Amino acid sequence: MEKISPLWKVEDSDSQADTLRSLIDQADATVIGVGAGMPAADGFSYVGPRFEDNFADFIEKYHFYDMLQAFLAKFEDWSEYWAFESRFVLLNGIDQPEGKLYHHFQQFLENNHYEYTILNTNGDNTLEKAHFDKDRVFNYQGQFSRMQCSKFCTPFTYRDDDLIRKMVRDQRNMRVPEDLIPRCPNCGAPLEVNKRTDQGMVEDAEWHREEKNYHDFLDKWNGKKVLNLEIGVGHTTPWIIREPFWKMTKESPDAMYVMVNQKDYLIPDYLDGQKVRLNGDIAQVVGQL
């Protein structure tokens, strides 16, 4: 265990869940960054049977190796795009059941009346299904269940679960009928899944409301004993959760940073005394809180 700021007591325990519980308990408030490792630890894997059983035809044609890679792939045209995406959205954004791990985490935070906010980079419906308070969640990367204009012409997103189901049901040979392809009510361009790419993302009124809530929370607790906790954050978009969490921790001497991840990503030396690494299985570290 590294040397730790005297403000915080770090439990000398064999259980990393005990260590994490104690830190959350000591904190005035906890800022939680949730990455792709969290749903994966809850069984919502983007590789293996969950992917192979639902997309055998697309895997055969494109040799995709995981569902997220496939989700961002270029397809032949909109008909094929929506054949893939409707199945993906139904599986991960609409019909995905409540996860045990998310349920446990939500109960833990709510039953103990902790002050917390969540910055989420997953587009799935895991937080929604586990009844997390919408006012405490900032879905930074959009939502699979919503659609945006592929030309980004207006700051609106749309949800139509019935249409998604119809596209899944009525598709043949990896194509949906042309007349089912959703269109932008404003400019007529095809709609696509609400997500961020190099071209950007439609950030609608709900996105801006969540952003404001998140920043209001940070402002309210700024300078206090804040725990900046990242869970299952990967390496693809460090500027969303990891680097801002490092910066917030560095700029606030009373703050603490915790990385929950089985991969030993680097944590900079300038956080010495303000960092704790918990490299156990997320299903156990979070699941045994």
* Binding residue numbers for Zn(2+): 149, 153, 184, 187
What is the four-CA torsion angle of 289, 210, 233, 19, rounded to 10 degrees? -20
Q: What are the backbone dihedrals phi and psi of residue 258, each rounded to the nearest 5 degrees, phi first?
A: -125, 130
Nearer Cβ to Zn ion (44/81) = 81
Shorter beta-carbon distance to Zn ion: residue 167 or 184: 184
Q: Which of 59, 189 has the CB closer to Zn ion?
A: 189
Place of tokens 């592929």: 150
3-state secondary structure of 221: helix
Considering the complex, what minimum distance in angstroms separates the CB of residue 158 from Zn ion?
Answer: 11
Residues annotated in the binding site, as ranges? Answer: 149, 153, 184, 187
- Considering beta carbons, is residue 184 or 241 the nearer one to Zn ion? 184
Can you give the binding site for Zn ion, defined by CB under 5 A?
149, 151, 153, 184, 186-187, 189
Give the tokens for residue 180: 């089912």
Closest contact distance (angstroms) between CB of 210 and Zn ion is 23
Considering the complex, state which of residue 6 and residue 200 has its C-beta at the smaller distance from Zn ion: 200
Distance CA 217, CA 230 (A): 17
CB of residue 91 to Zn ion, shortest distance in Å? 26
Helix (H) or strand (E) holding 215: helix 205-221
The helix (run of H) or strand (run of E) holding residue 226 is strand 226-231
| Strand partners for 120 | 34, 139
Query: How far apart are CB 187 and Zn ion at their closest, in Å?
Result: 3
Nearest distance in Å: CB 94, Zn ion: 23
Q: 177: which 2 tokens?
A: 């009928």
Q: What secondary structure does DSSP assign to 28-90, as a single string?
A: SEEEEEE-THHHHHTT--SSSHHHHTT-HHHHHHH--SSHHHHHTS--SSHHHHHHHHHHHHI
Closer residue to Zn ion in complex, CB, 97/188: 188
Q: Does residue 86 contact residue 271 with C-beta atoms inside 8 Å?
A: no
The whole-angstrom separation of Cα 187 and Cα 202 is 14
Q: In the bound complex, what is the minimum distance in angstroms from residue 191's beta carbon to Zn ion? A: 8
